[in-house]
Every structure is written in C-alpha cells, then in structure tokens.
Structure 1
Amino acid sequence: MAGGRTKIYFDGGCRPNPGRMEAAVVVRGEAHLFDDMGEGGSFDAEWLALLEALDLACRIGLEDVVLLGDALAVVNEAQAVLDGGSGREPHATRLRELVAGGPSLRVRWIRRGQNLAGIALDRRRLR
C-alpha cells in the first residue's frame, strides 16, 4: 500500500494488576479492542498491545508505521529490540518475527492524554 507513515496508537492494561489483560489499537481513526489476552501484569499487557498493533499493520499491508504508546518502559525496550538489542521474551522474539516480513517500523512514546488507544480503553471501561 502506497502512502506516508501511518500512526498506530496502542495501549494495554489489566484490572486488577496483575489480572485479566486487555488492549486497544487505533489505526486510521478506528479502534480495535482485544479481550481474553490471558492473565498478567501491566507491562505484559502493554507489550501485547504493541504486538497486536504491529500484527494489524502487517495484515492490512502498511509499509511505514510508527507505533505510539504511553508505556515508556515498553516503548524503550521495543525500540532497543528493533535496534538489535535484547528484550523480554517471548515478546522480543515475536516483535522480530513481525518486523522480518512487515513494515518499516518505529516505536515512540506519547503522553497518556494523546494516546487514542488509551482513550478508547478508558471509554470502554466507563460503559
């Protein structure tokens, strides 16, 4: 698919922490919500959200992507993996697999109030 860089927002969470994990991904203004992601802590939930975002980018054929999330530790670790470093397994391995056949990718931190995926999760919880 031709075009410029596509911004994809991701956010993961669990309640309680640790607890049932959930995630949201927003691409091109459309929110995708993920349940039944198992039990875990917030760090794993954020990683799973990032991986869901990248998997979605691959499925819809995006070529140049920036993943935007508000979990600084996950963003930093994912970017380190992309730069050839290590990361928490099995998340780092899955990231490498998706990138191998997928889009050009960057991962960047944004403030919570700017994270459209976080906003989607908050709205869902209020229902």
Structure 2
Amino acid sequence: MKIFFDGGLRPTGMEWAVVVGGQAHIERGLGAGDSMDAEWLALIAATRLAHVHGLVDALLMGDSAAVIGQASGRVRVPPAYRGHFRLWSDLPRPTGRFRLRHIRRTQNLAGIALEKPWVAQRMGSREE
C-alpha cells in the first residue's frame, strides 16, 4: 500500500499531510519549527497511520531526500532532529515489508494536498 507524506512550513506554523488510499489527512498550525521538523512530523504521522489502518507491505513515499536518507540510515541524523528520529524509530510498524522511497515533488499527493486545499477536499481531506 502506497502512503504519501509531506511536511510544510507557513507563517502560521508547521503542517503535514498524509494520503492513504486516496484519503488525505492534514494537520495545520503545529507551531514553530523548520521545514525539516515538518517533514519529520509528516513521516511520523504516516508511520502511525500505516499502523492504525493495519496496512500490509507499506511503502511510504515523500519528497524530502534528507529525511528519508536519515530515517533509512544512509545519512547521519543531525543533532537537532535526533528526537524526531528516536520517536519515529520507536513507533510500531505495519505488518509485512515497510519501505521508504524518495519521489519527486510533483509525484507527491500529500504535497499537492498541502498546496491546493481543493485537491485535498476532492480527495476526501480530513482535517485532524
């Protein structure tokens, strides 16, 4: 099952979106932070949703090469983001294969949902 995730930063604070099975889950106004914090929060949310939905063989896809590299162990996690990494590492995983993949921004349905609220609504957005 493909799961798209993306984090963003606006003047009103951080936000994330996760798209699972065509359903957009969006959280806005998450307070201060930077874009990497927002991307980590999106990955954490995607992992939680994959587990909650009981998905099997989850493929989490996002456009942040840095976060995906850090989470997969290919890139060193900077000290500022180690708390996010520890939290994500301790989360329960869905059953079966659990994979992370970097995709282009234009392929990321979660990023599209964050940029264009009407797309998220049409996809069945649920503001959580």
Q: Normalising by structure 1, report the TM-score.
A: 0.81
User: Following superposition of structure 1 onto structure 2, how do residues 79-98 of structure 1 map, counting pairs within 5 Å?
Assistant: 79-80=72-73, 87=77, 88-98=81-91
Gaps of 5+ in 1: 1-5
Q: What CA distance in whole angstroms lies between the structure 1 residues aligned with 2:60 and 2:42?
A: 10
The Cα RMSD (Å) is: 2.0
Aligned length: 114
Gaps of 5+ in 2: 120-128
Stretches (4+) displaced over 2 A: 85-88
Q: What CA distance in whole angstroms lies between the structure 1 residues aligned with 2:115 and 2:107?
A: 13
Q: What CA distance in whole angstroms lies between the structure 2 residues aligned with 1:38 and 1:63?
A: 32
Find the counterpart in structure 1 of residue 109 from structure 2.
Answer: 116
Q: 1:8 is matched with which residue: 3, 6, 18? A: 3
Find the counterpart in structure 2 of residue 36 from structure 1.
Answer: 29
AA at the equivalent of 1:41: D
Higher relative contact order (CA 8 A, sep 6+): 2
Q: Normalising by structure 2, report the TM-score.
A: 0.80
